[in-house]
Amino acid sequence: MASEKTTLAGLPALKNEPLSNYTFTKTGGPADLLAFPESVEQVQTFVDYANENKVPLTVVGNASNLIVRDGGIRGLVIILTHMRSIKVEGNTVTADAGARIIDTSDAAGAAGLSGLEFAAGIPGSVGGAVFMNAGAYDGEIKDCVSRINVISRSGQMHTYENAGMQFAYRHSVVQETGEIVLSASFDLTPGDKHAIRAKMDDLNARRAAKQPLELPSCGSVFQRPKGHYVGPMIQEAGLQGHIIGGAQISMKHAGFIVNINHATATDYVDMIHYVQRHIKAKFDVELHPEVRIIGAEPDESAVVHHDGAFD
């Protein structure tokens, strides 16, 4: 079924739009309704629309650490990547939720502000990075974010200070509350622009050398279990290079699953379960996905009427 244009509460949207057009894995079924708010006010409008019409609402950032199942997503999906303003004021960088964390790191570096270098190669959005307390190279979002503006699913605005976010490894409180991150402010430390840029370039070179950036993937698939490293365990279990459908455990980094031949989301999910079973059997270690897996199985489809109602 081809996608088509429509409007919701006077704002443009798409119907039956394949989410594979937006995910980094290049997989995923259609969104019944898909919209790209460009401001906080438009996010509010879509939240109100979903509530008034009893339509499920799903929020997506840059879709870099995300698997959307092949049945797609029922209801309304909003992708925040059209909200991407980044402002530098003094030692503080404030970015919209849809801004790339890479671009936010670059803006900080260009302003001679240190503290976001670790994020120079993380492909997610600011909202996604805050949502899951993204981290790399011994840095995490919790180390530098100071204030987070959110909207609740009922449409109420709220500002969190760092402590209120209950940050932990790949966790923040908004994972429980369902609140939507609108923007975040990072309090950083003045430093030498050239030294900051050199550190970012070094981290990006290390990332490019170790990670399969040349192929579609969802990034690091599993959380790191205490006392273990995921990639070496997968290698020791003899799983590296294993293929299911069009998905493969990367030969470059065993902690990644790459799309080598028109993989489906089902291929990805089946591979995740395959790895979990084998690592549990060999090491008695439970692997938990770092990647978010959302959406419906292929047989859980729905028909959207022009008024937004569902069958």
Active site members: 170, 220, 290
Distance from C-alpha of 49 to C-alpha of 3, rounded to nearest angstrom: 21
User: Would you say 65 and 75 are in contact if contact means Cβ atoms under 8 Å apart?
Assistant: no
Alpha-carbon distance of 238 to 252, in angstroms, equals: 14
- d(CA 204, CA 198) in angstroms, rounded, equals 10
Q: Residue 279 is encoded by which pair of tokens?
A: 């690592």
**Locus of tokens 């995910």:** 23
DSSP state of 61: S
Distance CA 169, CA 190 (A): 27
Tokens describing residue 289:
């996905």
Separation CA 258–CA 219 (nearest Å): 9
